Amino acid sequence: MGAQWGNNIKLTIFGESHGKGIGIVIDGIKPGVKLDLDYIKKQMRRRAPGRNSFSTSRKETDEVEILSGIVDTMTTGAPICGFIKNEDKKSKDYSILKEVMRPGHSDYPATIKYSGKNDVRGGGHFSGRLTAPLVFAGSIARQILQEKGIEIAGHIFSIGNIIADNTEPNLKKLREICEKEFPVADETTEKSMKNLIEKVRMEQNSVGGVIECLAFGVPAGIGDPFFNSLESTISHIMFSIPAVKGIEFGKGFEFSNMLGSDANDEYYFNGTEIKTYTNNNGGILGGISNGMPLDMKVVIKPTPSIGKKQRTVNIKQQQNCELEIKGRHDPCIVPRAVVVVESVLALAILDQLGGCND
């Protein structure tokens, strides 16, 4: 049971990688929101596979059929169901996946949990493909947040050991980066990163990276102490993205090596507003927003699907074996994951804002 999330907006996801399709129900979206469906399509395309050489060759248009909750592009207040048909399903024999556990994938723990009854075709319900409905939901959330002056933008912070030159990410610059197929700021870094990805692809390997995501315009006072802190809410749903293995806010793990006098964000009054000179805390104190940009990073582990030969076990025969995974893989999912992280951050903020039903 992990299909539901949210306090003020409620998400429910369903579907499998090689079943009929994947979908999401969103409850709690206020009535009367006029949606820009082209904006949603654009965001869906940012995540969709098959667009270039650093993505899997599986071709999915990821067109969302809206089954409920919207009449003539306007939300009605009723639950919104978006459904995405699976099109480019390979009709190959997946039965080997019932026996041979792919390292780094959910295969083994899922087999134990579901007593081998889980749908293993393409990872089934565990597939990264399930992030497509999150982008759909997030793209609705972003339009509602936009009305309130809240804008979200992410970028590739690093791939492998190549770190983007992202000193002082600001909204204007990030907006431009978002438009790019490969959302990284400077051209030099972009070229290096793409070369690295091409290199690991040729070696039938994969590589990880870090995504930074910011939310601008979040007013002070959003969030809660303790169990419902902004960090709790955001991290909870961020770790729903397969491959995310760490999250940090503001300076994050760098805080371990800082002194209080450097870490504290000192306040000043700029005539109309209270601001901080620095934003080490990433816009959150005591679990509540302080009016500065929300700033967070997640690490994406290298795609576990690699062509290289790997040692593993055959769970049916209860013996060791080797595995070479054939088929279509992403050598690096970081570029496609940026919009997923943005979408998920939007959903977390909208939830904390109470669905904006005001």
Contacting a second copy within 24-43 (CB under 8 A): 25, 27-28, 31-32
Burial 268-301 (b: 16+ CB within 10 A, else e): eeeeeeeebeebbbbbbbebbbbebbbbbbbbbb
Residue 200 lies near a second copy (rule: CB under 8 A) = yes
Positions in 128-147 near a second copy (CB under 8 A)? 130
Element of type H or E holding 352:
helix 334-352
Within 179-198, the residues that bind a second copy by CB under 8 A are none
Task: Please tell me whether residue 83 binds a second copy under the rule CB under 8 A.
Answer: yes
Among 56, 206, 279, 343, binds a second copy (CB under 8 A): 206
Q: Cα–Cα distance between 233 and 22 in angstroms, integer?
A: 24
Footprint (CB under 8 A) of a second copy, residues 249-278: 249-253, 255-261, 263-269, 274, 276-277
Asked if 223 is part of the footprint of a second copy (rule: CB under 8 A), the reply reads yes
Of 68, 50, 71, nearest in space to 59 by CA: 50
Stretch that binds a second copy, among 55-63, 77-85, 137-145, 175-183 (CB under 8 A): 77-85
Which of 13, 48, 64, 197 is in the footprint of a second copy by CB under 8 A?
13
d(CA 13, CA 26): 9
* 100, 103, 104, 109 alpha-carbon torsion, rounded to 10°: 40
Q: What is the C-alpha to C-alpha distance for residues 347 and 9, in angstroms, rounded to an integer?
A: 8
Contact pick of 105, 142, 194, 336 for a second copy (by CB under 8 A)? 105
- Please identify, using beta-carbon distances, which residue of 50 and 354 lies nearer to a second copy: 354
- Site map 227..246 versus a second copy, x via CB under 8 A: xxx-xxx-xxxxxx-x-xxx
Residue 349: other Cβ atoms inside 10 A: 27
Check binding of 158 to a second copy (CB under 8 A): yes
CB of 139 to a second copy, least distance (A): 18
Query: What separation in angstroms does the CA of 130 have from each of 16, 33, 208, 229?
Result: 7, 25, 19, 26
Residue (139 or 281) nearer to a second copy, CB = 281
Q: How far is the CB of 192 from a second copy (least distance, A)?
A: 14
For a second copy, the closer of residues 172 and 226 by Cβ is: 226
Q: Which residue has the tokens 């039903």?
A: 357
Count of residues binding a second copy (CB under 8 A)?
A: 147
167 counts as binding a second copy under rule CB under 8 A: no
Query: For a second copy, what does the binding mask look like between residues 323 and 352, x meaning CB under 8 A?
Result: ------------------------------
Residue ranges in 37-76 that form contacts with a second copy under rule CB under 8 A: 65-69, 71, 74-76
**Residues in CB range of 188: below 8 A, 6 or more apart:** none
Are 203 and 160 within 8 A, CB to CB?
no
User: Which of helix, strand or coil describes residue 195?
Assistant: helix
> Using CA atoms, how far apart are residues 136 and 252, in angstroms rounded to an integer?
29
Nearest distance from C-beta of residue 146 to a second copy, angstroms: 19
Q: Which of 42, 79, 192, 198 binds a second copy (CB under 8 A)?
A: 79
Q: Which of 185, 182, 158, 189 shows the shortest CA–CA distance to 170?
A: 185
DSSP assigned state of 63: P
